[in-house]
Amino acid sequence: MAYKTFLGIPGFGDLIRELAGRFPDTALAHPTGVLCRGGDLSLPTLLAAYSRGIFPWFDENSPILWWSPDPRCVILPEEYHLPRRSRRTLRQKNFAITLDQAFEQVITSCGRRAQTWITPDIVESFLVLHATGFAHSVEAWLDDRLVGGLYGLALGRAFFGESMFHTESEASRACLAALIALMKERGMTLLDCQQETPHIMAQGGRLLPRQDFEQRLARALAAPEQEQQGTPKAQDAQDTQDTQDAEKSVHYRARPQDLPGAGGTASRAHDSAGWQDAAERSEARTAGRVPNILACEYADLPGQRKSLWPFLPWRTSYVFREGSWKPVNGV
Return the CATH number of the domain spanning residue range 3-69.
3.30.70.3550
Same fold, 3-69 and 73-324: no
pLDDT at 262 (0 to 100): 28
pLDDT at 2 (0 to 100): 53
Q: Is it true that domain 73-324 has CATH number 1.20.120.140?
A: no
- Are residues 48 and 17 in contact, defined by beta-carbon separation less than 8 angstroms? yes
93-145: pLDDT as tens digits:
989 999 999 999 999 999 987 567 899 999 999 999 999 999 999 999 999 99
267-284: pLDDT as tens digits:
333 333 344 444 455 555
Q: Residue ranges of the domains in the chain?
A: 3-69, 73-324
122-133: pLDDT as tens digits:
999 999 999 999
Helix segments in the chain, DSSP class H = 3-7, 12-20, 43-51, 84-93, 103-110, 120-131, 171-186, 198-201, 210-221, 224-230, 233-243, 272-286, 293-299
The residues of the chain scoring below 50 in pLDDT are 1, 229-279, 286-289, 331
pLDDT at 293 (0 to 100): 87
